[in-house]
């Protein structure tokens, strides 16, 4: 299992916006889910881009 931050907040994005690359869908449970760590709208994806997740306003990761 592996979770790697590949991008953090930039111009026009919330301060805690992050993008994560994950090794597998099992890694979604290891992603942060609280304010002050990550902002809604943050994304996570597998290296092959077969699975992409978006953090909702309720701080739940959902596949999109």
The domain tally of the chain equals 1
pTM above 0.85, yes or no: yes
What's the domain range around 13? 3-63
- The whole-number pLDDT of residue 1 equals 73
Q: How many of the other CB atoms lie within 10 Å of CB of 7? A: 13
Residues (pLDDT < 50) of the chain are none
């Amino acid at each position: 299992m592996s979770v790697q931050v590949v991008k953090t907040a930039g111009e026009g994005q919330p301060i805690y916006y992050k993008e994560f690359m994950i090794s597998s869908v099992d890694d979604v449970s290891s992603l942060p889910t609280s304010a002050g760590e990550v902002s809604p709208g943050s994304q996570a994806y597998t290296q092959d881009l077969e699975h992409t997740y978006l953090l909702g306003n309720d701080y739940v990761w959902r596949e999109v």
